[in-house]
Each structure stands twice: as structure tokens, then as C-alpha cells.
Amino acid sequence: MAAVELTLWLFSFFGVAGLLGIVVYQLMCLSDLEFDYINPFDSASSINKFVLPEFILHGALCTLYLFTGYWVVFLLNLPLAYYHTRLYMSKRHLVDVTEIFNHLSKEKQYRLMKLGFYLVLFFIVIYKLVVAAVLLILEHDRGPDLDF
């Protein structure tokens, strides 16, 4: 049982690390646009490339927490998953090239809030990963249960 838990938290660790990487990359693209290092088309296309993979990865993690019974972590992720679903259904999930300068501060603030959320989630996942690893080591040292 502890090995399955360790696998779950390892997958979560790499998933949340990927989400952090995506959001940091999007913030870098917006900062480059703000300082005129990149044109609006390249910035918007670079950001839009990673919007759908971010939504899918976050939804997969949320679903994984639901099916494995980690209700607190699932409920923590549910509002952002709902917001991502609303954005996708209303077709407002992509950055518009023509309006990117008008919404630059709002887009940066949105991604900074997501960065903060993913950082909190990352620390929770690291904690759960360490606990699962320690429990697996202790279970292995104790040996198999021979209760009849």
C-alpha cells in the first residue's frame, strides 16, 4: 500500500513541477513582452501553446486525487479546475494577440496567483512524498506481517 502511495506522490511531484514550469514560462513571455524583447504575436503563440497542456495536467492531477481518496487535496484543487473549465467552455482560455497589451497586467496577475497556488500545492506534495517514502522504508525494515 505504501508503494502505491509513493508512486502517487511521485507522479504528483513531477506533475506539479511541470505546472510550475509552465506558469513560470508564461510569466517570462509576458515579462519579455512588457520590456519589448518579443513581439505580441510570438508572445501570445508561446503562451497559448502551453495553456491546454496546463489545463489537462491540472485536471488529471485533480481527478487522480479524487479517485485515490485524497479529499482535502482534491477540494483544494477543485476551484482552479472549475475556473479552467469555465475559461475553456467560454473560449476565453487563449491569449488574444490584438488585446495582449491591454490585458498585460491582468494576465501577469492571474499567472502570479496561479504560481502562488502551485507553489503551495508543490510544498504539500513534497510533504506527502516524504511521508510516503518514510512509511515505505519503515514498512520495509519491519519486514512482512506474518499474522495468521
Half-sphere exposure of residue 12: CA atoms within 13 angstroms, side-chain side:
30
pLDDT at 147: 53
What cell numbers appear for 107 in the block? 494576465
pLDDT at 34: 92
- pLDDT band at 1; cut points 50, 70, 90: confident
| Cα–Cα distance measured from residue 61 to residue 68, given in angstroms and rounded to the nearest whole number | 11
pLDDT digits (tens, 9 = 90+) for 37-58: 999 999 999 999 999 999 999 9
When pLDDT is averaged across residues 76-86 and rounded to a whole number, the result is 97
When pLDDT is averaged across residues 30-36 and rounded to a whole number, the result is 92
Contacts of 128 (CB under 8 A, 6+ apart): 9, 12, 73
What cell numbers appear for 147 in the block? 499474522
When pLDDT is averaged across residues 1-29 and rounded to a whole number, the result is 95
